[in-house]
Amino acid sequence: MLNLHAYRKHVGRWRGTRWSLPWWRRFKVRSALARRYRSIGLAPPVHAFVDSPISAIVATGIAVGVRWLQRHPETHVALFGHALDEAALRRAIRDAITEIIEPLEYRPDAHGIESAIVRVTSSPPALLPALLRAPAREIEALASAHRLAAVDGVSDPQLLVAPLAQLHERVYERLPAADRITLPTVSDPVAHAIDETLQHGLAGTRQFLARVFSAWWSTQQPLARRLETIAFTSFFRRRRAFGLDYAAARDIELAHTAQAVFTHADFWIAADWPTIYMDEAPRLHRLDGPAIAWRDGSGISLLHGVRVTRAICEGRFTIGDILHAYNAEVRRTMIELYERGDRGRFLREADADVMHIDYDRLGHPQRLLRFALPGDEAYVGVEVTNSTPEPDGTHKRYILRVPPTTRTCRAAIAWTFGLREAEYEPEAET
Amino acid sequence: MTRMARQGDILIVGITGELPRGARELRREAGGIVLAYGEATGHAHRIRSPHVTLLEHDGQRFLRVEQPSDLTHEEHAPIHLRPGLYKVVRQREYEPQRTPRWVDD
């Protein structure tokens, strides 16, 4: 029987992995990838490390297109209207980067992406082995040239993805049926968030290199899925009974010491890990900034583990946005942000129902307000008046949130001091 | 002894009998005993009298008042405390499925 406790622990380690890439880890990634390339008869190519998977994905997608253009100079005039000298190619790269990263809420540093592309495409392209060549057909239909370019020389399936899937399959076949059922799934919220963020890149790109990027990215296996397979396979790689190709499993695992790695016959690009921020649960969570933040400026906003827009995360939203929030936890956090420095603002502005009215010892009115929130418990708050007047003689009013079962103003105030309604009898109140 | 008095977000509740065993005395700050600071203003619920001791047991705070003393705050009128033992209760706010958050003046 499978030791589920040990498996969960192993998976948790993978899920919780937030390494950085100092030189010795880069060395491991380089060595492992060199062995993977040799295993399919290719020389280890030039490579680049970038600060984030988003930069790595954009750089790889465009570099795939650049390599194809370098192999097919006969297409340049038809595709661009002029021959592509070095300066024109640099311009095309720059424009494609801008087009792809423009819709992102947290844009990675474009210069870093450009440098990586230039680095991995500066040597003359090698002769591609047959297995990595795009289907040989006439490049007449320019409308589909980007799709042809997107698969030309892309070596991921042979290097990492297909061997990993085979190893996964082999282990799975040897597992007893009962274990297959109880095996917990590995789900990495960071990888999921990256996959979701880059959905943007798949629609509406216009420039040739940006279209190659979109076509290439749409053929890639989601990062979250890759991680699941690696965590699973690496758990079984020391267990001989599962008959894994130990070297292959180890190399694939080591290659993924980087957060993401993308390969091509001529180059590979690997990404560094982010800084992540959690709440006490712990779930990905950060106010005022991205909960997943990479050094190059890219990032992803989450509140209590739920993806939100940058505007919501930074408190730029209206009361209508709060009411339309699809997740109760996010709505609560939005109310919290909305009321920062102005307690009770939400109830005041949301046209809440008045449940009860009475007067404090000094004759100031008190109100118990209630606002129903769809799919969540009601927001109930007691509006009270500060007993001590301000210098101008007015009295500050504020609202305190209380349990939704509260029925009277007095019970609400008593609750805020941990007392029942009958117990709350202050002799003096200032 | 004052039975119950409130100054903003602080409630002082008189108690009879002894303090719980093991209650430990908390250090006074330079300006006296501070029961709570405001989050943004830096204002404080403060007792300057040297005849008052602040104690703590299991997260609950107590005051031992030996001579009449005043609880002051920059925005609230003072509360006069007669000699006796008191429990200090801080006002809290409801947070769904989370630990209540303290209220700060």
> For the segment B14-53, what is each residue's pLDDT rounded down to a tens digit?
998 888 888 888 887 777 888 887 655 567 888 888 889 8
- Peptide linkage before A163 cis (omega within 30 of 0): no
Say yes or no: A392 contacts chain B, CB-CB below 8 A.
Answer: no
Among A302, A291, A256, which residue's Cα sits nearest to residue A56? Answer: A256
Per-residue HEC secondary structure of A27-44 comes to HHHHHHHHHHHHHCCCCC
Residues 6+ apart with CB under 8 A from A305: A189, A279, A281, A283, A284, A285, A329
Of the candidates A376, A416, A428, the beta carbon closest to that of B91 is on A416
Residues of A in contact with B8 (CB under 8 A): 386, 388, 430
Q: Does position A184 have pLDDT exceeding 70, yes or no?
A: no
Say yes or no: A417 contacts chain B, CB-CB below 8 A.
Answer: yes
Question: What average pLDDT does the segment A307-334 reach?
Answer: 80
**DSSP code of residue B32:** B
Residues of B in contact with A419 (CB under 8 A): 89
Say yes or no: B15 contacts chain A, CB-CB below 8 A.
Answer: no
Q: Does position A97 have pLDDT exceeding 90, yes or no?
A: yes
CA distance A351 to chain B (A): 20
CA distance B65 to chain A (A): 17
Across chain A, mean pLDDT equals: 84
Of the candidates A401, A402, A429, the beta carbon closest to that of B6 is on A429
Question: What average pLDDT does the segment A142-163 reach?
Answer: 81
Residues 6+ apart with CB under 8 A from A42: A129, A155, A265
Among A385, A357, A359, A355, which residue's Cα sits nearest to residue A369? Answer: A355
Q: pLDDT tens-digit profile of A36-84?
A: 999 888 899 999 999 999 999 999 999 999 999 998 888 888 888 888 8
- Best B7, B76, B93 member to test A by mutation, with max A CBs in 10 Å, is B93
Query: How many inter-chain contacts (A to B, CB under 8 Å) are there?
Result: 65
Say yes or no: B7 contacts chain A, CB-CB below 8 A.
Answer: yes
CA distance B93 to chain A (A): 5
pLDDT at B99: 44
Q: Where do we find the tokens 């370019």?
A: A149
pLDDT level of residue A328 (50, 70, 90 thresholds): low
Residue B37: its H or E element: strand B33-37
pLDDT level of residue A138 (50, 70, 90 thresholds): low
Domain spans of chain B? 4-102
Alpha-carbon distance of A355 to B51, in angstroms, equals 45
CA distance B30 to chain A (A): 25
With an 8 Å Cβ cutoff, are B92 and A341 in contact? Answer: no
CA distance readout (Å), B72 to B13, B64, B104 = 16, 16, 15
Among A399, A400, A401, A406, which residue's Cα sits nearest to residue A420? Answer: A406
Q: What is the pTM of this model?
A: 0.68
Say yes or no: A320 contacts chain B, CB-CB below 8 A.
Answer: no
Question: Nearest residue on chain B to A424, judged by CA atoms?
Answer: B4
CA distance B15 to chain A (A): 13
Of the candidates A403, A417, A425, the beta carbon closest to that of B94 is on A403
Among A428, A414, A418, A360, which residue's Cα sits nearest to residue B81? Answer: A428
